[in-house]
Structure 1
Amino acid sequence: MKRSEKAGFTWGEETITELVLVGASPAVATYPFTRREEGGDEGTGADWLWWWIDPDGTSFGMLVQAKRLKKKNKQGVWNIDFEYKSGAQRQRLFTTAKKLGVAAAYVLYFGSTDYTSDIEPPEDDPHYGHWNPDAAARNRCRECRRKTIAYLPAHVTLSSNLSADAPRAYRDSVPLEDLAHKQTEFKAPLVIPTVRDKLSAKLEAFIDHQQQGAKHVAHTFLAQVLNHRMGQSTLSVAERVETVPDNQITDAPFFEEWPDDRDHSGQQYFSAVLRGLRKAPPRYVLNLVYGETPYLPNDLGLNEEELKGIAGMVVIRL
């Protein structure tokens, strides 16, 4: 990104995504689908379907849309266009992720520390002191460099006006590398007391303890959502919802039940995240991994129109 900026080029989501995936190979396997127009009128607006897979088969899936930080006008207003096409692109992302039974996420390209040097974050940002307008000082900020590429659970953007508040989107996002690497100091996310009362023992232990592999990815994702929920004032509706019988050993959800709490946007956030954590990867993932390309509409459960915008699949074996 920095080299593009110095050369006067505008880096785009698709170009950076491809460079990142190529750079991550062979540790990360990519399976491009038939070329489609990204974000077409009837498409999902999503870039890649990601699956993180443990040796024992435990897996976490998410549908990822790439967004870049850009200036909206000549006055220098920074923007991340989550509301593209009046929110229709994001709604298709949610709809398709739900149909696939995975979480929905944004990967955010903030660019180099030079590119973002004149952005000021909210004063309540715990990293406020890192946003030094002096580029040399910003380059010494490890957290700033790590957030060159970050991620954000997609439904968090529904209850926050993050399109017009790029610094807050920066604050709420997490460096992408944190998905695969454990924190040096584990901190369990806070859970609203009335919601915690409805957690099963299995789910409560999952939330309160550091996880490994695909469960770590899911835990990091869920922790972000739970921390966001703690900052909201709406009353919780925390009835428990059953998903599948405990003895099912297919690609069923890892958890058999979770609270039916909803955030400001009305999203059932436990379901939106934990449906992506499976006891085993779906058949279409195994077909790709072992060299048998699936007939996508049948194996993904999507029709041709719903497949528009999905560039391919990313498989990370942990």
Structure 2
Amino acid sequence: MLVQAKRLKKDREQWTIDFGYKSGKQWEGLHATADVLNVAPSYALYLGSPDYRKPVECGAKDHPSDFEQCDRCIRKSVSFYPSVLAADSVGAEPRVAYRESIPLESIADPQADTETPRTQKWTYGLTPELKEFLTTEAAGVPQAVAKQLVSKARERRSWQFDLMEKNLTDQISEDFVFESLPPDQGHLSAPYFIQILRGLRRTPPGYVLNVLNGDSPAGLDTTAFGRISSRPG
């Protein structure tokens, strides 16, 4: 993944997560760079303590009145959220992003059941291989993370009524886990299967191997890069 950090800001009971920073240019830069690197763009949300976040609940059933007693709220202090959802008017709403974000401590769980009753009915464009990926225990940490992120997009997509198809060719080579991915997009900002699952590979991409060997990342159009930092920003 390529990760952009975002911090929850709170003024009295008003929440803000600035997904539209710099009039959307930061989001565009995140996605443009992720397109060049051929990985999944995502947000890491820094959300503070459960007490700071109340009275908005995390979506757990029978939520306790004491937020410090909710395990999911405790784990949500750092959470991940697919950036493909943040361009959607609903997905950019801070309370929705908080509720649907995935706690960092949970995102790599290979046994996580990510398919809801709604998404189980949403099988448009799924190959048998992709169905198996979505409905069985993940084979490892990268697959577990990708599975949880793409399932969030599937959940949102299942609520959309219009099917919007584009003639997209996803130039996926043989080192990718999935050789073919459906171009379903709907009202989301990008074809979510392609954008999220393109980061799953059997071997590292060539530009990574170049860097590991001490060479320059040949073949990358670095003019599309914004500032990439190893620290949250």
TM-score (norm 1): 0.63
Map of 2:2 onto structure 1: 63
Match of 2:182 among 259, 263, 281: 259
> In the alignment, is residue 221 of structure 1 matched against residue 149 of structure 2?
yes
Structure 1 gap ranges (5+): 1-61, 314-318
Q: Is the 8 A contact 1:150 1:174 kept in 2?
A: yes
Q: CA RMSD in A?
A: 2.8
Larger Rg: 1
Q: Which secondary structure state, in structure 1, belongs to the residue aligned with residue 86 of structure 2?
A: helix
- Residue 90 in 1 paired to residue 27 in 2? yes
The match for 2:228 is 310
2:199 paired with 1:272 = no
Match of 2:80 among 147, 151, 154: 151
Distance 1:77 1:217 in 2: 30
Indicate if the aligned counterparts of 1:139 and 1:145 stay in contact, CA closer than 8 A: yes
Closer, same or farther: CA 129–307 of 1 in aligned 2, 3 Å: same
C-alpha separation in 1, matches of 2:170 and 2:226? 32
Whether the 8 Å CA contact 1:253–1:275 is kept in 2: the answer is yes
* Secondary structure of 2:30's aligned partner: helix
* Whole-Å separation in 2 of the counterparts to 1:186 and 1:174: 13
- Pick aligned residue for 2:56 from 120, 141, 144: 120
Q: 1:282 aligns with which of 189, 193, 205?
A: 205
Structure 1 CA distance for aligned equivalents of residues 214 and 63 of structure 2: 46
Q: Which residue of 1 aligns with 2:133?
A: 206
Q: CA deviation at 1:177?
A: 2.0
Does the CA contact (< 8 Å) of 2:84 and 2:189 recur in 1?
Answer: no
| Residues 81, 281 of structure 1: alpha-carbon distance in 2 compared, 3 angstrom cutoff | same
Using CA pairs below 8 Å that are at least 6 residues apart, which structure has the higher relative contact order?
1
Distance verdict in 2 for CA 1:266–1:143, change over 3 Å = closer
C-alpha distance in 1 between matches for 2:182 and 2:132: 14
The alignment status of 1:105 with 2:42, answered yes or no, reads yes
Correspondence list, 1:22-101, <5 A: 62-71=1-10, 76-101=13-38
Counterpart of 1:172 in structure 2 is: 100
Q: Matched residues in 2 for 1:242 and 1:85: separation?
A: 30
Other-structure match for 1:301: 220
- Given that 1:120 and 1:131 are in contact with CA atoms closer than 8 Å, whether structure 2 keeps it comes out as no
